[in-house]
Amino acid sequence: MASLRDLGLSEYEARAYRALLRTGATTAKELSRASDVPMGRIYDVLNSLEQYHLIRSQAASRPKKYVAVEPDMALDRLLESKRQELEEKAEQYEAVVDELNDELDTAEPVHDQFWTAAVGDDETVDLLVERLAAADDSLAMVAGTPSPQFDLGMVGDLVVEELEAALERGVEVSILMSPDLVDSLPESVGQRYMERLSDHPAFHVRTAENLTGVFNLIDDVEVCIEVPNPLDPGQAFAMIDLKDPEFAADLRSTFDPRWEAAAPLPL
């Protein structure tokens, strides 16, 4: 059940404001009795409510009287106060992240084999985006069959955002696709990729025949391989991430000649 405490008021403040709505203009002593707020706390509570601009006071009267601001206005003011508080918190957290980014050193690259896998739509997307964000030097994406990462929905947008961020970091991005896949993509997909990425000098797209599967080669030490759903090849079933420089080098030696022989995609 919703409560004024959800918007930042204390229990005593919420009691006092609700009581004022019932009593109308009243004194602190009368409000203490009506709200069950102890007399020793009532003035602190009233001062706090005034700071929130939830009540008004009539200082000329003796004793001083208080009246509640109308609920619609009061709730709007509480909401705005909470919004400002959250924005300030967000700025503080962003500053902490910036400081930690400078402070924390990335561990030395893993030279031994390490692999992990994600199963399910959300987990697969999370792993893909995470590993694309980890690229420092180069990113080669190969798509020989339809892949969710080139779809019209959220995944495609997330991939484009990560590719844009990678290019800004100085990562060389190469995408190799089969002509059949290019032909099968809706025009809007191509527009989204090309309008946001194609002008960057480190972004390259080529096509080659007889490509199969979908994988991403990251910094020549890591491979992120998409496993299609056997019941629906157009959907991903799992994502396997393998960090193995030797395997990645073998994959690079296979990729490079295919890339050199591939035809640039007109942008």
pLDDT for the residue 265: 79
C-beta atoms surrounding 13 within 10 Å? 23
Q: Which domains does the chain have, with CATH numbers?
A: 1-104 (1.10.10.10), 114-262 (3.30.870.10)
What pLDDT, on a 0 to 100 scale, did the predictor assign at position 85?
A: 92
Pairing of strands 138-143, 214-218: antiparallel
Cβ density class 207-244: b for 16+ within 10 Å, e for less? bbeebeebbbbbbbbbbbbbbbeeeeeeebbbbbbbbb
Average pLDDT score over residue span 210-229: 87
The neighbouring-strand residues paired with 143 are: 177, 214
Q: Which two tokens stand for residue 19?
A: 């009581």
Q: Determine the average pLDDT of the residues in 205-227.
A: 88
Query: Does the pLDDT of residue 101 top 90, yes or no?
Result: no
User: Does residue 227 contact residue 239 with C-beta atoms inside 8 Å?
Assistant: yes
For residue range 110-144, list pLDDT tens digits in order.
Answer: 556 788 888 877 788 888 889 999 899 999 998 87
